[in-house]
Amino acid sequence: MKVREKFIVISILILVVIGFISISWKPILWSLVFFGPLILVGVYDIVQKKHTIINNFPIIGHGRYLLENIRPEIMQYFVETDTEGRPINRVFRSLVYQRAKKTNDTVPFGTQMDVYKAGYEWLDHSMYACNDNDKNAHPRIIVGGENCKKPYSASLLNISAMSFGSLSQNAILALNKGAKKGGFAHNTGEGGLSPYHLENGGDLIWQIGTGYFGCRTKEGAFCKDTFAKKATLENVKMIEIKISQGAKPGHGGILPAVKNTKEIASIRGVVAHTNVLSPPSHSAFSSAKGLMNFIQLLREKSEGKPIGFKLCVGKKQEFIDLCKAMISTGIKPDFITVDGGEGGTGAAPVEFSNSIGMPLRDALAFVYDTLVGFNLKKDIKIIASGKIISGFHIARIIALGADMVNSARAMMLSLGCIQALECNKNTCPVGVATQSKSLMKGLNVADKSERVANFHKETLLSFSELIAAAGVANPADLKRKHINRRVNMNTVLKYDDIFPYIEEGSFLK
């Protein structure tokens, strides 16, 4: 007998027994308070035709959907090891939490990493380690080329692009207040300049995406006059043109309708409670020279602030064409942000997130080498973003050629993110990636801003101690030869073997 038939028989028997007993003992009818709803649910399960499992297994079939809903929590808390979690494992999540709270971030009993597994990487230390790197634990990088009138002194580590809309107002407030306290920059993401980005006075990198949110016409085109009004604000230190992002390159941004409130729609200049899909490419330009001219326009309208662009590397020839356009037009960006294909986002199609975009280390080496080959690197700073959590992550990225780094998910974790993987559902349980007023109330801006500042400070201190152990006093002196990667059990290569340097200006010959 099938479960459905068993349910029908058992339900009839229960009702008959209760009815029979009630003839002589009325209190038995109270048992219907328990059995009645169960029988009604089971009847509904049999009648409905949408879910086969529930139809075939009334009542108990719901257990399957319950377990499916709590599977991420079961995996995270009971199944996965400290080094297996995805996308950020527990080792690094714990590291962020500890540094944000300024608690003990040391580990006992040695590394949990398999040091003989292909892909394991490490930094060469020196017998002659530096002793005073803590005096330079927060180096600054000047961003601004020869045509920049207002160069910006940036921290080595900054907050990567995350929009208001994707994140809650309390999350934005806490991030910006933390940036103000720690003296580092906060990238607005493509969602525009919100009051919450401006309220606490932290330094901002204003990102201009393909939707031109905050500086668009009613038709969705770029509006230079609106841009000029906001770009000249004191808080705005740099302007970043978003060409593509690592988590969904070539796709454009996605803001689900459930997170598109009236306030967010007003800031972005769109219709509330609708899905907001940024175009996959810009309408203000359609060629390499067009991008250079757009850079020049933004530089003029911002009164000479640093202008750059962000991209996830796709077709290499297209980036080479950009370098040629820089030479032919004489217009150069002040910085280029390289976003790795492993980058995070609040919402992205699975195929784009998993199968499009060059990973950060490969992309960074290519961009650096191409700029060097065209003799352009001396004028352009490189910012790198893509799963940067620890001091070692910073060190290996600087060694590959970046001048500074951005981090998004680590900053979210410092806010209290528990990697619930509900960023795209508006149900973030810790109030970080949601527009639910009820959920975001739990995110205390004053407390979390301290944690953001703490994480920034402690991570850069760790980075400083790390390169000091390598005998390197200045981050700019980190080279590819300092980083090792095991490629198989018996072979170890240095980064300059895997990513060999090229001669400066060699592409011009």
Model pLDDT for residues 384-403, shown as the tens digit of each residue: 999 999 999 999 999 999 99
Structure tokens that stand for 25 in this block: 């003992």
Sign of the Cα pseudo-torsion (493, 393, 313, 421, in order): positive
pLDDT at res. 358: 94
Closest to 454 in 3D by CA, of 413, 491, 490, 423:
413
Beta bridge partners of 159: 186, 407
Q: Which residue has the higher pLDDT, 345 or 394?
A: 394
Asked if 141 contacts 507 with a C-beta cutoff of 8 angstroms, the reply is no
Would the pLDDT of 210 be above 90? yes
List C-alpha distances in Å: 443 to 273, 329, 431, 435, 463. Answer: 24, 48, 6, 12, 29
Which DSSP letter does residue 167 get?
B
Asked if 342 contacts 364 with a C-beta cutoff of 8 angstroms, the reply is no
DSSP H helices in 70-201: 71-74, 90-101, 169-182, 195-198
Would the pLDDT of 134 be above 70? no
Reported as a single tens digit per residue, the pLDDT across 59-70 is 999 999 999 888
Reported as a single tens digit per residue, the pLDDT across 450-493 is 999 999 999 999 999 999 999 998 999 999 999 999 999 999 99
CB atoms closer than 10 angstroms to residue 438: 8
Under 8 Å CB-to-CB from 240, ≥6 apart: which residues? 161, 187, 205, 206, 207, 208, 308, 309, 310, 335, 337
Under 8 Å CB-to-CB from 352, ≥6 apart: which residues? 247, 248, 249, 250, 251
Confidence of residue 305 (pLDDT cuts 50, 70, 90): very high
Reported as a single tens digit per residue, the pLDDT across 247-275 is 888 887 777 788 788 888 888 888 888 88
CA distance 492 to 472: 22
Closest to 182 in 3D by CA, of 460, 462, 467, 463:
460
Would the pLDDT of 133 be above 80? no
Average pLDDT over residues 342-352: 81
Radius of gyration, alpha carbons of the chain = 27
pLDDT at res. 189: 93
Closest to 117 in 3D by CA, of 507, 508, 499, 485:
485
pLDDT at res. 270: 85
Burial class (CB in 10 A: 0-12, 13-18, 19+), 301: buried
pLDDT at res. 490: 93
Structure tokens that stand for 168 in this block: 């809650």
Pairing state of beta strands 236-242 and 254-255? unpaired
Based on DSSP, count helices (H) and strands (E) in the chain, helices before strands. Answer: 19, 15
How many angstroms from the chain centroid is the CA of residue 158?
A: 12
pLDDT at res. 135: 61
pLDDT at res. 57: 94
Confidence of residue 314 (pLDDT cuts 50, 70, 90): very high
Where is average pLDDT lowest: 193-197, 255-259, 299-303, 323-327?
Answer: 255-259
Reported as a single tens digit per residue, the pLDDT across 217-245 is 988 899 999 999 999 999 999 999 999 99
| Single-letter amino acid code for the residue at 49 | K
**Please, what is the average pLDDT of the chain?**
93
Which DSSP letter does residue 133 get?
G
Main-chain dihedrals φ then ψ at residue 205, nearest 5 degrees: -105, 110
List C-alpha distances in Å: 485 to 66, 177, 402, 489, 494. Answer: 43, 38, 19, 11, 6
